[in-house]
Amino acid sequence: MVGMGTILAQGRGLARGSTMEPLRFPPESPMKETAVQSALTASALALVVAFACIAAFLPPMLAQTLGSIPRTALLGCAIAVAIPVHWAFLGIAARRMGRSVARWVGLAVLLFPVGGIAALILLGWLGDEGRHATVPVTGQ
């Protein structure tokens, strides 16, 4: 029977029985953008969950929501968790981009819900701008 380490070693072109080294990424690797994008995605997902729970308290579904105490409590708890999670992941994305966490989260908190949406869009746009920016050539 062939072990997983042997399969991985053969897949990387290493000799059988040799030890595998951890992958090392260069300082300007796409892993940073991936980490920022995952934080922004998690923040957006938390905001969508909060909006879905808030929508249950709007007139078309209000009677059904208030008719069940457990449903009302569950939706209220989901809102109470989803909004701070949205802000937390927004702050994580801002920190990973080297931006001011207090400014971006403050914008999202003070101008909720439009501020949170605007912060997500702007941070995503700034992340794309940073990814496509060119490095100036010096020393000619």
Taking CA atoms, 49 is separated from 36, 71, 90, 117, 134, in Å, by 20, 15, 15, 13, 37
Residues 128-137: pLDDT tens digits? Answer: 776 665 555 5
Which pLDDT value is given to residue 127?
Answer: 82
d(CA 5, CA 91): 38
Residue 80: pLDDT over 90: yes
d(CA 37, CA 97): 10
Residue 139: pLDDT over 90: no
Q: Which residue has the tokens 């931006």?
A: 99
Residues 37-71: pLDDT tens digits? Answer: 999 999 999 999 999 999 999 999 999 999 999 99
Q: Residues 46, 89: contact at Cβ < 8 Å?
A: yes
